[in-house]
Amino acid sequence: MKMISKNDMKERNRMSILKTIRSGVCSRAEISAALGLSKPAVSALVDELIKEGLVVETGRGDSTEAGGKKPILLDFQADVAMIAAVSFNNKHYEIALVDLLGVVKFYMKKKIRIYDDYRQTIDLIVQGIRDLIQEARAQGQQQPVMACGIAVRGLVDTDKGIMRYSSAMPWKDAPIGEYMSQSLDIPIFLENDARAGTYVEMLNSNGNYRDTLVCVSVGIGIGTGVVIGNEVYRGAFGGAVNLAHATIDHDGPLCRCGNRGCWEALASITAFGEELSRRDGKYAELEFGEIVSLYREDDPIVADVLLNYTGYWLGIGIATILNVFNPEQLIIQGEITQAGPELEKKIIEVVQQRVSAVTRRSQIRFSEHSEKLQVRGAAAIISNHFFSDMYHRMIWQ
């Protein structure tokens, strides 16, 4: 058995205190009671956190005991530092500067150029980060930028910061993390975009889910992120959980991967657009947002395809996911959520018809955090790491 040193213990207690304060304004006595730590130990660690700027005293709360002194309340200072967040695909890159709880403070989105040499593209992004930091400084924001999270489509080696493969880029085994950390001199964390999206839900759940969580992100493609026991599940080689190319309909439409009837070829927004164009060519040139407007104006063809095609195929795939993971919650994220509650209802209906009673207990819902999901996902990687024993000291020294 590994011995836990005094210092490790102190670090753990410090983190527990920080998490407690983050989950709601509270006093030293409440922390002591909630964590079972002595009042002097809590006080000493809280004083340290105040010195570091992570915690502030916000005034006095109500007295609980008759005649007792009103306790001093403590609050987490999310804007003591900033996090840089990047997401990119073969069309655009997005950069955000966010506070420690992922609130976007500065944001930019620009057209990208994908060069054969990844370094040239990354140089563009690094320049974008520098420009945005400069903008923040010009507006009086002097906080240090602690770390940078990057969310990309494709297969990534999170530990080594290597982008193994992406269908959207010509690069193979590109060590993006190392290259960027040399330019920016801060820790860089690279993650697959679907998994980054799950970090957004973890960050915003504030402990509201306890066990297994599955996020399905539906946009141009379909991505799936799975959280088991508060850890994002990656699989032995970083490829988990990729259900986009699971065969759902053996003689369904041709997929860009070369197979037929993959889930992505049936249930993504791309597939929705293609099916709509097959019904009537007049929809071919429209963006998803425009089609959603038509749906709101009661266009019967759009409604039929959205609910009975896209909704149906999403339900079929999600029923399988529920059977595999039996999650507490399954959250649908991404552009598709713009379609609103009727689609959500339809998906749930299809799922309910196809799963057993125990699986039916999983809660299925649309995310409330789909706006700027990719770049917020990149930021949420760092926010979650900031509150983890494993990574905290890499980000906060």
| Interacting residues toward Zn ion by CB under 5 A | 245, 255, 257, 259, 262
Per DSSP, the three-state class of 230 is coil
Q: 316, 321, 331, 325: which is closest to 363 by C-alpha?
A: 331
Distance in Å, CB of 310 to Zn ion, minimum: 17
Distance in Å, CB of 261 to Zn ion, minimum: 8
* Complex with Zn ion: residue 28 or 245, whichever CB lies closer: 245
Distance in Å, CB of 334 to Zn ion, minimum: 18
Edge-to-edge strand ranges of the sheet holding 72-76 = 26-27, 72-76, 55-60
Distance in Å, CB of 263 to Zn ion, minimum: 8
Distance in Å, CB of 250 to Zn ion, minimum: 12
The structure tokens listed for 164 are 């193994």
Q: 104, 99, 107, 105: which is closest to 22 by C-alpha?
A: 99
Distance in Å, CB of 316 to Zn ion, minimum: 15
* Complex with Zn ion: residue 257 or 284, whichever CB lies closer: 257
Compute the distance between CA of residue 301 and CA of residue 296 in angstroms, rounded to an integer.
12
Compute the distance between CA of residue 101 and CA of residue 151 in angstroms, rounded to an integer.
17
Distance in Å, CB of 170 to Zn ion, minimum: 20
Q: 6, 375, 395, 389: which is closest to 193 by C-alpha?
A: 375
Q: Where are the alpha helices (DSSP H) in the chain?
A: 6-22, 28-35, 39-52, 118-138, 176-184, 193-205, 263-267, 269-279, 288-296, 300-304, 312-325, 341-354, 373-386, 392-395
* Complex with Zn ion: residue 214 or 262, whichever CB lies closer: 262
Distance in Å, CB of 262 to Zn ion, minimum: 3
Each residue of 309-347: b (16+ CB within 10 Å) or e?
bbbbbbbbbbbbbbeebbbbbbbbbbbbbbbeeebbebb
Burial of 108 (0-12, 13-18, 19+ CB in 10 A): middle
* Complex with Zn ion: residue 97 or 262, whichever CB lies closer: 262
* Complex with Zn ion: residue 4 or 254, whichever CB lies closer: 254
CA atoms within 13 A on the CB side of 167: 8
* Complex with Zn ion: residue 271 or 379, whichever CB lies closer: 271
Distance in Å, CB of 241 to Zn ion, minimum: 15
* Complex with Zn ion: residue 256 or 296, whichever CB lies closer: 256
The structure tokens listed for 43 are 């006080």
DSSP state of 306: I
Q: 105, 377, 101: which is closest to 219 by C-alpha?
A: 377
* Complex with Zn ion: residue 255 or 291, whichever CB lies closer: 255
The angle formed by the CA atoms of residues 141, 144 and 148, to the nearest 5 degrees, is: 110
* Complex with Zn ion: residue 169 or 255, whichever CB lies closer: 255
